């Protein structure tokens, strides 16, 4: 065993790992500008070799990396959702500019995507609810097939008046988002457009009181 010349603890090398880590962090902090500039120059001069090595490593360990990423995503789903929402909130303008630039630079790809895209009203309504929920600081995301599930549970009838939904329906938050309601499956119901517009952003108890009295 050796003695760390920094903190005096016994270790197998001349400097223990905590001391070495602290030294490197302090060195990087003091020389950050120079180190970053040198790294940019190195990457510019060796971009082809670095890209080739990165691709080689990626394909050699692709399945293992994908498995680890999926496992991490499942275990940290809520954390990743919150992190993505926070990133979008801070960088929304930058993201919009990047998307607009991609559309300008790749008109053929965008046109081909729109040509093959199948319009899905349920998906559009779901995305609209997600965007509205985020405006109220709510990051909940309902199930993808929630409208089909609700239609089956309600037997194709409005949850308010009991009339058929075959002529059309709205997806309504039982407790409105404006009153703190969540954008989850258990807080959603299908109403006829007339009932949904009449309900508005009222609490369901207030709606029932008005109907009864």
pLDDT band for position 212 (50/70/90)? Answer: very low
| 167, part of any domain | yes
Asked whether residue 164 carries a pLDDT value surpassing 60, the answer given is yes
The domain that holds 137 is classified in CATH as 3.40.1800
Nearest CA-CA partner of 129 in 205, 207, 74, 189: 189
| 72, part of any domain | no
Mean per-residue pLDDT over the chain, rounded: 83
Asked whether residue 72 carries a pLDDT value surpassing 50, the answer given is yes
| 150, part of any domain | yes
Report the alpha-carbon distance of residue 77 to residue 84 in Å, rounded: 11
pLDDT 10s digits, 17-58: 788 888 889 999 999 999 999 999 999 999 999 988 888 888
As a whole number, mean pLDDT of residues 120-149 equals 81
Sign of dihedral through CA atoms 174, 177, 180, 182? Answer: positive
| 23, part of any domain | no
| 137, part of any domain | yes
* Buried residues in 66-99 as b, exposed as e (16+ CB within 10 A): eeeeeeeeeeeeeeeeeeeeeeeeeeeeeeeeee
Q: What percent of the chain has pLDDT over 90?
A: 22
User: What pLDDT score does 67 carry?
Assistant: 85
User: What pLDDT score does 65 carry?
Assistant: 83
| 44, part of any domain | no
Ramachandran class of 79: left when φ > 0, alpha when ψ lies in -120 to 50, beta otherwise = alpha
User: What pLDDT score does 2 carry?
Assistant: 64
Is the pLDDT higher at 117 or at 120? Answer: 120
Asked whether residue 154 carries a pLDDT value surpassing 90, the answer given is yes
How many domains, the chain?
A: 1
| 157, part of any domain | yes
Asked whether residue 8 carries a pLDDT value surpassing 70, the answer given is no
User: What pLDDT score does 114 carry?
Assistant: 64
Q: What is the number of other CB atoms lying within 10 angstroms of the CB of residue 133?
A: 20
Asked whether residue 213 carries a pLDDT value surpassing 50, the answer given is no
| 108, part of any domain | no
Asked whether residue 159 carries a pLDDT value surpassing 80, the answer given is yes
Domain hosting 184: range is: 122-212
Report the alpha-carbon distance of residue 93 to residue 76 in Å, rounded: 27
């Amino acid at each position: 065993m050796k003695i760390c010349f920094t903190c005096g603890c016994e270790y197998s090398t001349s400097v223990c790992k905590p001391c070495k880590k602290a030294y490197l962090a302090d060195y990087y902090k003091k020389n950050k500008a120079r180190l970053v500039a040198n790294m940019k120059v190195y990457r510019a001069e060796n971009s082809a070799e670095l890209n080739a090595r990165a691709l080689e490593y990626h394909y050699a360990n692709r399945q293992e990396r994908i498995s680890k990423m999926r496992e991490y995503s499942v275990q940290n789903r809520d954390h990743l959702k919150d992190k993505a929402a926070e990133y979008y909130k801070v960088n929304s303008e930058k993201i919009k500019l990047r998307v607009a630039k991609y559309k300008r630079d790749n008109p053929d790809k965008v046109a081909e995507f729109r040509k093959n895209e199948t319009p899905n009203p349920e998906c559009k309504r779901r995305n609209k609810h997600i965007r509205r929920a985020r405006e109220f600081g709510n990051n909940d995301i309902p199930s993808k097939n929630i409208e089909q599930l609700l239609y089956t549970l309600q037997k194709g009838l409005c949850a308010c008046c009991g009339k058929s939904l075959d002529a059309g329906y709205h997806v309504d938050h039982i407790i409105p988002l404006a009153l703190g309601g969540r954008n989850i499956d258990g807080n959603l119901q299908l109403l006829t457009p007339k009932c949904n517009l009449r309900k508005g952003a009222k609490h369901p108890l207030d709606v029932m009181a008005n109907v009864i009295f």
